[in-house]
Each structure stands twice: as structure tokens, then as C-alpha cells.
Structure 1
């Protein structure tokens, strides 16, 4: 499918997500930083992650990059780090502790900390793809943020302004924060370090975004915890999660098209209602009426609950992790079919 070029996907500064008035620049006009090699006249896709502490943002990033590389290779492309900093930080803070040491990742440090490695974005070169009848160099920029910085936002929001200029905000909702689910999973999943109320974090996020209108992928994270409730026959969740005809029980078969995305959107919305997330849904409905483009997703970075602070010895089986990005890619006309 050929998509017309959307003017929203112009060349942007990867550090602030702001559009560049001179798309051929080699130096950002917004911060005193050089732009990565090959940036001139590229298409920049800007994604920001959000959620409370322990909602799974770091694990999501770790798995997302691996799956994105595999997805691109299947289409005949290659995904590479656009600068040495991205390569080193991904290896140090995501790849080595997770994939090599098989451990869960620690919480992202707050931005004010000297150890806040996420102050710089992760920047990936997706290569050259046909978009709107012409070939464009595509870069994906991902910005993570500490849950603590969204639970208690600083008075000066300058360091969080990138949310206002993102193409997409992926907001992770941890179902274990729901008392009913936490009680059912007692002894199976740790509830010792759960973050704040997801609705309160969302309210803070919406205040940071203000009148800006990035699309928002509201994502039910750690979905493996809900799926494990199929084995709890004493709970109503057993019948819900045991519905093998539900879209949330099968992988999306790319490209991101057809009825599948809308079915998943509707099903996850219903699950959030069942999870007593009505306050959050009310906030989102109001923002939707004000022009915010919202879609609901369900993902699992692990595929099954961890064993203490380590992964299951059988490894991981990620579930629908790419979906939120495929939504953005599809509308941008990127990676919607084999590289031609």
C-alpha cells in the first residue's frame, strides 16, 4: 500500500522532538548538539514512553529493539544504532543485564540523578524505505522517562517537554496495581515495589502534554500476568482469559491493517473497565473528545511471569510488543511491506 507523505513526519531534532526549520542541518537549532550522520532530509519518528514505576518500560525497550531488528530483517531491511551512545547505552542498560545475565532491569533513575542514562534518547537508523512514492531515510527516536518523574513531576517541566512534540506516547498500565489482580497473583508475582496509581500518573502526563496532540498508545503491560489467571478457576478471570477466540490471545500478523487492531482496541478497553480503571478511561475519553488520538493495546515483554528477580529458565516469549509502533509505522507508510 502506498501512503501519501504526512507533513507531521518531517525532519526533527532527536533531542527535543521539535521540527527542524532547516531539514538539511547537521546541527540542531534547539540544542547545542550535532545531528547523527545521514540526518539531513530524513523522516524522524519520535516515540516517548510513560508509566508509573515498575510498569515495565525498561523491559519493553529491551525487547522492542530486538523484535524491531528482526521485523526489519524479515522485510529485507536493517535496523542499526544511529550513534555510538545509543549502541553503548542499549548494551549496558538493556541488553547485557536482561538478555545475557537473564535478570530483570532496575528502575530507571530520575532525571535529576547523575546516573540518568535516559536523558539522551535512543536513536535508530531504519534505513531507506519507499514512502509516498519516494525513498526516505527513516530514523526512530525513543525517549524513556523514570516513573518517579511522572509520579512526582518537577516544578520545571523543561526536561519533559519532549512529550508535547512526540508523534506517539506509549503509556504502560500495570494490571498488578489493581488490588483484585494483585491478590489473585499473591505469591506468584511480586507486589513489593509497585508504582503509584496509574490514573494519577496519567493525569500528570496529560498535564505535561497540555494542548499538544500526540497519539497515545494506552498499553496494558505485563499481559502474561492476566493470561496466567486462566488457571485460577475460582476467579471470573479464568473464563475471560480462557477465551481463545479473543484477539488479545493471539499475535498480530503484520502489516498493521484489517480488523485485528480495532478488535484488540475494543477488547482491551473492556478489560480496563473490568480492571476498575474507570477514572483513567474517563480522563482518556475527555482527551479524545478534545482531539487526542487514542488506541488500546496489550503487550507482554516476557511472555510469562518472572521467577523472583530473574527470568524463567525457559527464556522469554514476547507477545504483541511491536503493536504500538506498528500503528505509528503504518500511518507513516513505513515498513508496511517488503522492502522494494
Structure 2
């Protein structure tokens, strides 16, 4: 069942990525949006635990770490998009499964069988092919350090998730602490931004459009140009705080479901493989871009999707 849970988690994170892509084209405050995303997860986790009655034990400390690492990973990703090339940042941040499988071996001596290793390598190759851009070929590596940092922090998030399972932490209390920590940190970011805006008397609060984040999926028009330099000079009306918060809470539904499925997969699954399968949410976003947005799919992306499907098939046969 763990393989099915991991695949469904990838689907949920893919849908989340699609919603992020759609939202990135709207004039929203990204920090307030993510307050809503994390707040939704915290509230739903509490409600689910009221019904499940899971105990609050020492494992909840890993929920706090998950929230800290998740927040820091998103912050690093945002910074990378602001100062560097989006494609470069996405490439490095997409290699999280490599960090996870190596750390899982060092921490818990988790090893992969020969067929599992083959499937894992195919999946990672698919991620590399999908994310490899001409910027890397031409040596334009601006922002790589932020992408590398995001890769490590997303890896730490996955490892903390696994450790919460190994320590016997109850799922819903752990998720409550994760999302509550993220809510607090993003709210502090939002409040700090508002204070800077007021002190600078720079007009209404408006932050950059949201880059593809949390599980960075696919570049959208304008994301590889720092600060949206190709955007129209006439900006639409900024979404109200209430509308942004409520939309963030709606998007958060996909996030909490994906996290529940991922933690369920970690209970029996191999850490590196679960992380690799979940990272394939990028395929969902690519298919959405191809068939709904009518974006032309390059030969490179097509090859990456085929490799991803082949990797999943090999992993399924090995599980």
C-alpha cells in the first residue's frame, strides 16, 4: 500500500503545483497566501485528531522541525527566483531525492535492492531531464546556491517526516505542529512585509507573484525574469487579504491530504523511494501545461515524462 500512498501524494502535490501556477499569475501577497495554506492544514489536522483521538507524544517535536524546514526551503526558493535564474533554481531544488536516499542510508542504514536502485536512478534521471534547461548548458548558473539550499532543506523536511514515523509520533499531532509552525513563520513574514511597506510609504501592499514552490514544479511565463520584468506595467487590483487567505486555505486542502498520504507511505516504504515518487508531481504539472494551457512540450520534457513512467513501473515491480 505504501507505493499507492506515495503515488497519490505525488498526485495531490501535483494538483497543488497547478493551483500555485494559476495563483502565480494573480496579484496576491504570497506570504499571506501561504499563511492560509498552512493554517488550513493546522485546522484540518486538529479536527481529524478530535475524531481519531491520537495521543500527543514526544514525536511532535519533529512536526516543529518539518514546519521550520518547509518554511526555510520555501524562503530559499523564493530568494533564488528573485536573484537568479528560475530554471537553475528549479533544477537544483528538484534533486531532493538524492539527498534523502543518501541521508537515509547514513541515518537508518536503509538500502535499495538492485531493481529498486534501478528504478530510483530512472526516476532521478527523469527529474534531471525535465528540469535541465539551456541556462545550465550555457553556464548561466545565477541563483544555484539558493536552489542547492532549498534542495537540502526539502530533504531535511522529508527526513524529519520519516523520523517522526520512526519515533512513534502520532500523525495528526505531528501535522498540527508542522502546519502551526509554518503558519506562524509565514505570518511573521507577512507582518514584516506590511511594516516595511508602511514605513517606506510605497503604496499598497503588493508582493511578487508566487513562484512555483513547496514542491517546485514548472516555470511559468515571467518566472525566469527577476521581479517579473516582462509583466505589463498596468497591474490589476491586488486581491484583498480575506480573499487571499481563503484561497490559500483552499489550496491547503491539497497540501494536507498530500502530507497525510506521504506520512502513511513512510510507515512502510523506503524513505528515498517515497521521496522520489512524491517528487514526480512535476509530471502532473507538465501534463496540465500541455493539455490545458496548450504549452508546447519540448522533446526533452517528453523524454523526461516517459522516463518517469518507466521508473515508476520498475519501482512498482520491485515493491
Query: What TM-score do you get using the length of structure 1 for normalisation?
Result: 0.26
Q: Which has the higher contact order (CA 8 A, sep 6+)?
A: 2
* Structure with greater helix percent: 2
* Structure with greater strand percent: 1
